[in-house]
């Protein structure tokens, strides 16, 4: 993989990752007249739950569903400069122009005015966009195994890089696909968030994992993985280093966890063999997901990694892929129980979905 770093017109960093070391030099200049932005990101802690909430009012003006010929993630063409100055690329990472968290944000008072119980802090961090291919009409599932391996290497490198950004406590690579999920740019891409705190879900998972380890002397996800592989009924696909299964208590109508057989805290800790093996298995999983309803499945793919400084001995890296589509033309809405109380009600059993995914093909 060849890496070339540069700057966009407003000073944001852009990095090209080419599959081959023989790729052409990446020297194109961003010709746009872009003003330097000043993100106003902050975080406030909900006094009722002790959870941090990000507030980024400057994101209201971000790009929203542009026509394909004005896509900001496609390569630049004469007269149509985009976020990517080159006329072609393999994989590209650049700083988000409308970040939820940023390395430089204004200082703030420690509490909200008139609310001493509501802690407040600058939204320090970093948000990056990852473009998987220059082909606007493609998708992650249509990438070659070699390109997926490049993306895995990029995720790992950026995880390590963002972990060094002052204020970042957790790094979260993810992909949103499909309008039903809320995607506003259809070009195949994902994002990476460097949070200034450990996320509530990760905190909860680490707490549960710690208690299980104390009681049983073994890692929780390791025991779950062993039990799922032995039961087989919810396993969708497996390989030498990874297993993909529908969790026994799945919340979403379609939900698959892709778990490495070895406990590692994060993507940088994966070996070359594990990265190669993931590329092949994940493509199989995505093909099965698209075959479920014989249409491109809207989904969120979320990497669960260890925080930068805490819980690294408890965490077990894994990918969670889920969809809001409960039938070919019906969505799972988060209604009163899910949204109001956080109590999920699934309309299908995990065993049924796993069986259908094993039988699906596209």
Torsion of Cα atoms, 348 then 342 then 129 then 55, to 10°: 160
Cα 318-322-326 angle, rounded to 5 deg: 155
Closest to 326 (Cα-Cα) out of 248, 256, 255, 253: 253
Please give the Cα distance from 355 to 339 (Å, whole number).
Answer: 29
- 287 annotated as a binding-site residue: no
For the annotated catalytic residues, the residue numbers are: 189
Please give the Cα distance from 126 to 120 (Å, whole number).
Answer: 18
Asked if 75 and 84 touch (Cβ cutoff 8 Å), the reply is: yes
Asked if 105 and 122 touch (Cβ cutoff 8 Å), the reply is: yes
- 304 annotated as a binding-site residue: no
Asked if 122 and 42 touch (Cβ cutoff 8 Å), the reply is: yes
Query: CB-based burial of residue 38 (10 Å sphere; 0-12 exposed, 13-18 middle, 19+ buried)?
Result: exposed
Per-residue HEC secondary structure of 64-81 comes to: CCCCHHHCCCCECECCEC
**N- to C-terminal Cα separation, the chain:** 30
- 131 annotated as a binding-site residue: no
DSSP-derived 3-state class of residue 210: helix
Closest to 46 (Cα-Cα) out of 123, 118, 124, 121: 118
C-alpha radius of gyration, the chain, whole number: 21
DSSP state letter for 340: I
Q: Phi first, then psi: what are they for 152, rounded to 5°?
A: -60, -45
Asked if 264 and 219 touch (Cβ cutoff 8 Å), the reply is: no
Cα separations in angstroms, 251 against 159, 247, 266 = 27, 9, 24
- Indicate the annotated binding residues for Zn(2+): 71, 74, 136, 187
- Indicate the annotated binding residues: 71, 74, 136, 187
């Amino acid at each position: 993989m060849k890496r070339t770093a540069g700057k966009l017109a407003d000073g944001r960093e852009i990095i090209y990752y080419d599959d081959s070391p023989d790729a052409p030099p990446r020297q194109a200049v961003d010709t746009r007249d872009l003003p330097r932005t000043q993100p106003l990101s902050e975080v406030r802690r909900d006094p009722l739950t002790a959870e941090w909430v990000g507030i980024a009012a400057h994101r209201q003006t971000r790009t929203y569903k542009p026509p394909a010929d004005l896509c900001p993630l496609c390569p630049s063409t004469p007269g149509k400069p985009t976020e990517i100055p080159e006329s072609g690329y393999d994989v590209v990472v650049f700083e988000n122009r409308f970040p939820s968290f940023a390395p430089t944000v204004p200082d703030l008072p420690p509490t909200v005015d008139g609310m001493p119980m509501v802690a407040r802090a600058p939204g320090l961090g970093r948000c990056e966009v990852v473009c998987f291919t220059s082909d606007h009409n493609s998708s992650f599932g249509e990438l070659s195994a070699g390109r997926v391996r490049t993306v895995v290497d990029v995720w790992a490198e950026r995880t390590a890089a963002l972990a060094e950004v002052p204020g970042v406590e957790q790094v979260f690579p993810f992909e949103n696909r499909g309008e039903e999920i809320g995607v506003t740019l259809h070009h195949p891409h994902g994002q990476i968030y460097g949070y200034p705190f450990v996320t509530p879900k990760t905190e909860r998972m680490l707490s549960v994992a710690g208690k299980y380890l104390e009681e049983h002397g073994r890692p929780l996800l390791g025991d779950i993985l062993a039990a799922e592989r032995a039961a087989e009924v919810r396993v969708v696909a497996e390989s030498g280093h990874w297993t993909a299964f529908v969790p026994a208590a799945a919340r979403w109508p379609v939900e698959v966890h892709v778990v490495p057989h070895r406990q590692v805290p994060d993507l940088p800790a994966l070996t070359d063999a594990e990265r190669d093996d993931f590329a092949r298995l994940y493509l199989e999983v995505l093909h099965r997901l698209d075959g479920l309803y014989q249409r491109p499945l809207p989904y969120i793919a979320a990497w669960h990694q260890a925080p930068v400084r805490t819980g690294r001995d408890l965490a077990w890296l894994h990918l969670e892929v889920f969809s809001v589509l409960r039938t070919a033309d019906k969505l799972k809405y988060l209604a009163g129980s899910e949204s109001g109380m956080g109590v999920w009600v699934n309309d299908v059993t995990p065993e049924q979905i796993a069986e259908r995914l094993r039988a699906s093909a596209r």
